[in-house]
Amino acid sequence: MPKNFNLDKFSQLLYREHSYNYIERFIERETNNYINLIDTNLLLIKFQSNISQLHDNDLAFLLIHSGLIPEHYKADSSEETFYSKLCEDVIREWAVRIGFKRSFLPTMKSSTEDVTILNDKNELIVCDGKAFRLGRSQAAPNVKDMLKEGDIPKWLYSHSYTYTTIGGMVVFPSTHDWKSSTDFYQYTSNSAQPILALNYQHLAYILIKGISSDFIVQSFKNYNEIFPNQLRKKDSTIRNRDQYYQNIENYLFSDDLDCWYSFKEFSDSILQEKCFDTSTKLREKIEKTKQLIVEKINQINDISVLRNLAIQSEIKNQTDILNKQLHNIGKFRRSSGGYYEDE
């Protein structure tokens, strides 16, 4: 474990819970429980002011469990959008602190990177920052949801006339990594287009270990040393995911791999507690919902009202998925207004 990473503070549950809820509570506070509309740029400026005051150790701890969207946010809601954006800004703050002083979040979200990582030498890296729900239906996302193969070259090209483009990064929570070989690590080990796929834990360690932006830039320039051969999905007896991180970590952390392994063990335990924290909140919400339903039903004395509620509930349970499918057909497909008459 890095000597400057004081574990005493992190042994306090109140501190850890505060960090687990740091972004969520910021959003809740600044948006007044999501009732009032707020300028996203204003929200971002306030958040940047907040995290700029965090000690490196506190930012590192926040990084460890970043990229995990609260389960109670509705899909595609403003809360979910804000949360993902602020996770991207945590990456930007990380980049600034290790020496990429001119890093920023692009103002145009569509068809561009999430974080533009830039140093004083005009050397530029495009970064795709990922955030997922712990409760999503898949253990790991589809590869296309993590990285579309042509995106990073496209983003780099858009900067090529202004900056010296170095390569791309994809940052995502290790809780959503693959357990077997995957096309993702084939795409991100291609020396023709250098890409570093890193977990938030890697970023946290790079920060507290004092690894500089110059070293990160050099890793792109020495990409052939890290990946002399592309890690194809079916070419090796070892999973290309395992080989990928063996290569990356041996290069980035070669001065003290035991220190990295110690930190990884600690950060893995933090992610496990974050999962427990999320599960606990879900159970509490389920129990609270049950209690409210029981209280509401117990106040009803009219049997016909109770019967109607039971009917509505059973209809919803058995047709909910069908109604979603019907909605999606109407939303995404062209449909005739009826059956065509026989000619």
Q: What are phi and psi of 255, to 5 degrees?
A: -70, -25
In the block, which residue shows the tokens 């898949």?
Answer: 138
HSE-up of residue 267 (Cα within 13 Å, Cβ side) = 28
H/E stretch holding 126 reads strand 123-129
pLDDT along the chain (343 residues), means of 10: 69 89 92 64 91 95 95 86 94 97 85 94 96 82 84 94 96 90 90 95 96 96 94 79 93 92 93 90 86 84 87 87 78 67 67
- CB-CB contact of 91 with 300 (8 Å): no
The helix/strand/coil state of 75 is coil
In the prediction, which pLDDT does 144 show?
85
